Amino acid sequence: MAKVTVGMPVYNGGALFERALLSVLDQSCREIVVFISDNCSSDETQSICEKYAAIDSRIIYHRQIENIGANRNFDFVLHAAKTEFFMYVAADDFISGNYVEDNLLFLLENEDYIASTCPVRFSTGETDSSIVGDATVSADDPYQRALSVLTYGNANGRFYSLYRRELICTWVFNSQGFVGGDVFFVFAALLKGKMNRVSSGFIELGRDGMSTQADFYVRFSKTYLNYIAPFHEYALAVMVLLKDAPISARIHALKFFTVLNLRTSAARLLTYLKMYKVSRLLKRKILG
């Protein structure tokens, strides 16, 4: 009986998705469920899914009748899972053949850990744990664990860990549709348990995700406040979870978000000014 569900939300994944899917199907741990939610793709994603679903009974393929958005698609695969453990694999990721087996073994032997991952690397070559954000978090104090993710500049490599499903199954990404929502998910998970990184294997994360797109912040800029304080919703969500935390923990979080919002809004302003100057220069050259 399968203990692990691998959730694969996808939209127009193409050849990269096929590569990701094959890395999941080739796991040394054979007893897994692979749940794919195709967000009404318009490319070859559907034919890829149907081809492999026809020859591998571990695959459950669901095609949405309309695009429901990325957050709801992530929710869909999580809430459909029934197994004891769950993990996401994105359409442009790739996992080593021992990923599920090694992390499952660790979690079965260490009940105080909510999740475990293999070393994280990016498709562009970064492997430094301080950059990819995959280090083990083993402090006994839950607030200390959670606050460890409030750092500047490093990625959220722990997001694609193998999790104990019962501890994350009620999560709704669609209600956390703000900048930093994926980090907030890990923050909340760390309040419930420790997170591990085994020494073997790897997970390779693609670099074509939403956060690397040029219009990333624009997508979340619903009000003027989003321009001034891009992470204010993330900050408010964190402070709600810290309502019973020691005052020192809450002060730490407030300082972090104050600096983060100031840095990000200043960087965005500089970017807009540069774009404005370039635009004016081009107009002068073209129109005279």
Pick from 278, 236, 271: nearest CA to 254: 236
List pLDDT tens digits, range 60-82: 999 999 999 999 999 999 999 99
Pick from 60, 154, 150, 166: nearest CA to 107: 166
CA distances, 185 to each of 90, 105, 172, 211 (Å): 16, 23, 9, 16
pLDDT at 283 over 70: no
User: For 121-151, b where at least 16 C-beta lie within 10 A, e where not — what string?
Assistant: bbeeebeeeeebbbbebeeeebbebbbbbbe
- Mean pLDDT on 154-162: 93
Q: Are the C-beta atoms of 201 and 119 separated by less than 8 Å?
A: yes
pLDDT at 46 over 60: yes
- Mean pLDDT on 262-268: 82
pLDDT at 202 over 80: yes
CA dihedral 193, 199, 200, 204 (to 10 degrees): 70
pLDDT at position 275 is 59
pLDDT at position 123 is 86
- Mean pLDDT on 41-55: 98
pLDDT at position 227 is 74
pLDDT at position 214 is 45
Q: Which two tokens stand for residue 158?
A: 């722990």
Q: What is the mean pLDDT of the chain?
A: 90
Please state, for a pLDDT cut of 90, what percent of the chain lies above it: 75
- Mean pLDDT on 184-188: 97
pLDDT at position 153 is 75
pLDDT at position 11 is 97
**Tokens 């978090």, located at residue:** 137
pLDDT at 219 over 70: no
pLDDT at position 273 is 64
Report the CATH number of the 4-212 domain.
Answer: 3.90.550.10
Q: What is the largest CA-CA distance in the chain?
A: 72
Higher-pLDDT residue of 101 and 153 is 101
